[in-house]
Amino acid sequence: MEEILNKGLELLDSPTTSEEELQAFQGNIAVLEKYYGSAAWKEDFALDEAGELPPDLRRGVLSEDGIYDLLERYKEKLESFSKDSGETESEERPGDPGMREVETERLLLRAMRHEDAKSMMRNWISDDAVQGMYGEPSYTTEEAVCELIDRYERTTREGNTARFAVIEKSSGECIGQASFFLLDKNNHFGEIEYCIGQAFQGKGYATEATRALIGYGFEILKLHKVQICCRPSNLSSKRVIEKCGFTYEGTLRDYFFRGGSYEGRMFFSILEEEYHSGKKENVT
């Protein structure tokens, strides 16, 4: 993390940095956005206080204010190249990153709201087992959940993510979340993640929400490629991914260090031509 931050600052501070160099750094910026946008830094800083955090994530090395300053500066500098060259947005790519509701037979995917906080805590976001499956801390107070919702709203507004509350239409309960937590506008690429509360698992909701997001990515965001990943040990997510028609691309070994051990990630994807040759979801 520290190496990524220092390289980013070096690029931003150098008067000779080219647009191509900034574009090439986009993947690293996405790593930082995911780490801080997900609020996982709070968990790591708690480990730091206990003396259990690796040196490259020490408190003070990467602060919340510091990382958001870097991301904002990066965005501004990249935009300045387009203004200087007189370039404009392409006519179709990327699509509108603003939130639109997505409705399926049993679910409504929409922007999270403060009034969802209690339902979120009741069904999934306070559950260590659910949150831990994708490296997130659990949230046990309404205030903390509302702060997280505000952060999600900000990153969505900036076009970096599109994060939805998954609402069970029959009950009105927020039973999970589904999102494009990473949107790469330059390469027309998005990565999906989702979680469903334990009481609502085994009912096909994860598959239904994921299919809806795939449609959103290709129909609304005008993406070329949609990616999703899971732990090799997460057989239920692997089944969801396969049902949704993703193609297995490969496994990155020891991809994450979490809870004192390394874990790999299996990566899958769908291309736009593959999506358009199959069934489309009802995206409104």
> For residues 165 and 183, which has the higher predicted lDDT (pLDDT)?
165
Q: What percent of the chain has pLDDT over 70?
A: 68
Question: What was the pLDDT predicted at 14?
Answer: 77
Report d(CA 113, CA 284) in Å as an integer: 19
Give the alpha-carbon dihedral of 71, 72, 76, 78, to 10 degrees. 10
Report which of 267, 197, 187 is spatially closest to residue 229, judged by C-alpha positions: 267
Q: Give kind and range of the element (H or E) at residue 109.
A: strand 107-111
Amino acid 46: pLDDT: 46
pLDDT digits (tens, 9 = 90+) for 195-245: 999 999 999 999 999 999 999 999 999 999 999 999 999 999 999 999 999
* Per-residue pLDDT reduced to its tens digit, 12-71: 777 777 776 766 666 666 666 555 544 444 444 444 444 444 444 443 444 555 555 666
Q: What percent of the chain has pLDDT over 90?
A: 48
Query: Which of residues 150 and 56 earns the better pLDDT score?
Result: 150
Report pLDDT for 213: 95
Question: Is it the case that residue 263 has pLDDT exceeding 70?
Answer: yes
* 10: DSSP letter: H
Pairing mode of beta strands 162-168, 174-184: antiparallel
pLDDT value of position 277: 87
- Which pLDDT score is estimated for 282? 39
Domains of the chain: 2-85 (no CATH), 102-276 (3.40.630.30)
